[in-house]
Each structure stands twice: as C-alpha cells, then as structure tokens.
Amino acid sequence: MPQLFTIMLILRPYFMLLLFILIVAGVSFSGAQFRPGDWYAGLIKPDWTPPNWIFPVVWSVLYLMIAVAGWLIFAASNRTLKILWVIQLALNGLWSWIFFGMHLIGLGMIDILAIFFCTLILLAFAYKFSRAVVWLMAPYLLWIGYASALNVAIYFLNPV
C-alpha cells in the first residue's frame, strides 16, 4: 500500500497536466461549435486574411501550450497569474460564440482585445515568475495580436 501512495504522489503532477489539457480542450471544443460558415465567407476581409484551414492547426498547438502554461502557473502560488490565466481562457472561450455564433463583430473585437491585454499583463507578471510560462504564452500573444488586427479590420470593412 505505501508503494501505491508513492506512485500516486509521483504521478499527481502528470494527472494535473492532463486535467489542464482537458480543461483547455473543453474551451477549444466549445469554440469549435461556432464555425465561420456562410456568414463569415460573405464578409469583406483584408487581403492578409489567412486561409480557413490554418486556424485549427495554429489553435491546436496554441491550446496545448496554454494548457501547459496553466499547469505551471497553478503549480506555483502566484494568485495574480492564476486569475489572469483563467480570465484569458474564459474570454477566449467566449470569442467564437460572440463572433461566429452571434455575428457581433464589434463585441468580438472588444473581447479579443481584452484577451490580448489580459495575456500581455499575464506575460509581464510571468516574466518574474517563470520564463517557461512566458515562452509558452508568447506565441499565443502574437497570434491574438494578429487575430485582433484581423477582427478590427473586419469590423471597419463591414459597417453594420
């Protein structure tokens, strides 16, 4: 019995990592319920809009990195980073519903800009705490910056 307890203690961090992967996968799955569809295809978009197939590829990698960063953040005792990580993930989960589900480009723009600034603040705090978290979340910040610019451009190219 003591050996089982030792094994459980050794494996606990990996179970926690799996939990974070599942949480982030849940957010990803909820966002995937709202597809671009005909509405998005009919919008005027800037010339620098990537092809639709690139989004799931990029997001798959980013969501894994976000999960690992969350696991590292929650393994530590920095309450601010934990709150920022949860907020950015919640805002991320809302964006697809707002933009693709409700077709609210302006509100989507506000949401994605909030994700960007929340993640930027998270990175600023994480810099003192964990370079690994910074490296894991920096590509996400870059992608969110690009996606924010795309959302803003679509907003101004498609006045309501």
Least confident interval from 10-19, 46-55, 78-87: 10-19
Q: What is the model's pTM?
A: 0.90
Tens digit of each residue's pLDDT (9 = 90 or more) over 48-82: 999 989 999 999 999 999 999 999 999 988 899 99
Q: Is 76 left (phi over 0), alpha (psi -120 to 50) or beta?
A: beta
